[in-house]
Structure 1
Amino acid sequence: MSNPDSFIDEVTEEVRRDRLFAMFRKYGWIGVLIVVFIVGGAAFNEWRKAAAASRAEVFGDAVLDALDLGGVEERRTALGAIKADGDQKAVLQLLLASDPDTDRAATLEALQALADDASQPQSYRDLAVLRRVMVLGAEASVSERRAALDPIAAAGRPFRTLALEQLAYLTLEEGKTDEAVAALQALMQDQEAPAGLRSRAEQMIVALGGEVAPSTAPQPAAPADAG
């Protein structure tokens, strides 16, 4: 044998291959299983996305069909017959509560049902409470309405500024004009208050004879000059 080193290298390489094949036969199923899980997981995610899109489409079509009906009772019956789960239930309740002038009792019932539904996101429940207070108006006492609005006006709640606006109106309803003006002035300076709310607050302050301070809240950007 002229090259013993080459022979040894060949034998060593053969041994390595034999060991590799032996390990693959023993543990290769783990790799196959991992691949199956990865591919299966990706397929499941795609199926879930497609199912969610289909579910949303079916729900949207049913809602549009119901809203196209002519009479209020027909629309309400059709909406009530739509199958819904998750936050779709919240959307249906808000739609059922969208016509208080025609059916005040049904509107209040739908809003109360949503406000009491602990399975729904807090934002939907807060919106239902806020809307219900506005629909009730003087039918409920100031103290009752204030008790309902106070939690929604807490920091971090999605409809905080709208609740503060309603609380200012309740203060005015109690005859405390100066306090109401001060509350509205504070809203005008609130960084989270939308432009529409600040505009309403300014109009109310002027109507009540208060002074309007320049707002420090961010203003909408002016459109670019086309010229």
Structure 2
Amino acid sequence: MSNPDSFLNEVTEELRRDRMMGYLRKYGWIAILAVLLIVGGTGWNEWRKATERANAEAFGDAVLAALENNDPSARVNALAQIETTGAQAGMIQLLSAGELIETDRAAALAALSAASEDTALPDAYRQLAALKWVIAGGTDIPIAEREMILAGLTQPGQPLRPMALEQTALLQLEQGNPETAIEIMTDLLSQSDVSDTLRRRVTQLVVALGGEVAPR
């Protein structure tokens, strides 16, 4: 019985090999394609990263070159000539507005207002533009409008909340409410996400207004 068993085993093994070869001939291209996709995907990803780094470096160099101009108008014109993609446009808008504050305040405020409402820009840029608009506009902007903008920026979790709280306190001072301003600034000083520069500035103002600052 050993010979028939051996024969059956050989036949079974041969059938398995034939079946495996059939699978390879029929579906082997899938494995090859998968390998090619993995290798190609890795190469494309590296190329994309290198391209993004090169573009970012070129953009940074162009911005620095534009800001080296001595004349503010020349800086603005040079910034306007820089090709941008995505969030870079928002950065150019903010830089240009900053250059225009001293020479063309109306144009600067218009640029900041437009940037703050541009939904194509990242939220961080829009919020920064809104805060700069409030600061640069000052009393030329109605109090109600400034309060509305600052109310949104001072919500918990917002990245510019500390600086927006400072402006809210200043707005209270402008309206003749020093006690409310001190309360806002005291609360601000109790928070951990306040920069040293902002902390010093707010502390000096609280003390000047007769308030007390708790030691850290």
TM over 0.5: yes
Q: How does 1:1-227 map to 2 (within 5 A)?
A: 5-99=5-99, 100-215=101-216
Once the 2 structures are TM-superposed, how far is the Cα of residue 7 of structure 1 from its aligned partner?
4.4
Once the 2 structures are TM-superposed, how far is the Cα of residue 131 of structure 1 from its aligned partner?
0.7
TM-score (norm 1): 0.88
For the 8 Å contact 1:111–1:132, the answer to whether it is kept is yes
**Runs of 4+ with deviation above 6 angstroms:** none
Once the 2 structures are TM-superposed, how far is the Cα of residue 206 of structure 1 from its aligned partner?
0.6
Whole-angstrom CA distance in 1 between matches of 2:120 and 2:182: 38
Amino acid at match of 2:83: K
> How many residues matched?
215
For the 8 Å contact 1:168–1:183, the answer to whether it is kept is yes
Per-residue Cα deviation, 1:90-145 (whole angstroms, up to 9, x for no partner): 11011102231223223212211211110111111000010111111112222221
Amino acid at match of 2:17: R
Residues 207 and 2 of structure 1, relative CA distance in 2, 3 Å threshold: closer
Whole-angstrom CA distance in 1 between matches of 2:212 and 2:70: 47
Larger mean CA deviation between 94-103 and 80-89 belongs to 94-103
Once the 2 structures are TM-superposed, how far is the Cα of residue 13 of structure 1 from its aligned partner?
2.4
Whole-angstrom CA distance in 2 between matches of 1:175 and 1:2: 108
Whole-angstrom CA distance in 2 between matches of 1:95 and 1:48: 27
Larger mean CA deviation between 41-50 and 180-189 belongs to 41-50
TM-score (norm 2): 0.92
DSSP 3-state at the match of 1:154:
coil
Whole-angstrom CA distance in 2 between matches of 1:58 and 1:11: 68
1:220 match: none
**Structure 2 segments unaligned to the other structure (5+ residues):** none
**Structure 1 segments unaligned to the other structure (5+ residues):** 216-227
Whole-angstrom CA distance in 2 between matches of 1:2 and 1:177: 105
Whole-angstrom CA distance in 1 between matches of 2:136 and 2:162: 18
Once the 2 structures are TM-superposed, how far is the Cα of residue 24 of structure 1 from its aligned partner?
0.7
Kindly, what percent of the aligned residue pairs are identical? 47
Once the 2 structures are TM-superposed, how far is the Cα of residue 47 of structure 1 from its aligned partner?
1.9
Whole-angstrom CA distance in 2 between matches of 1:162 and 1:148: 13
For the 8 Å contact 1:72–1:102, the answer to whether it is kept is yes
For the 8 Å contact 1:96–1:106, the answer to whether it is kept is no
Whole-angstrom CA distance in 2 between matches of 1:195 and 1:67: 28
Per-residue Cα deviation, 1:170-227 (whole angstroms, up to 9, x for no partner): 0011111111111111111123222222221211111001111224xxxxxxxxxxxx
Once the 2 structures are TM-superposed, how far is the Cα of residue 4 of structure 1 from its aligned partner?
5.4
CA RMSD of aligned residues (A): 1.8
Residues 132 and 2 of structure 1, relative CA distance in 2, 3 Å threshold: closer
Whole-angstrom CA distance in 1 between matches of 2:49 and 2:73: 35
1:222 match: none
DSSP 3-state at the match of 2:192:
coil
Whole-angstrom CA distance in 2 between matches of 1:175 and 1:55: 50
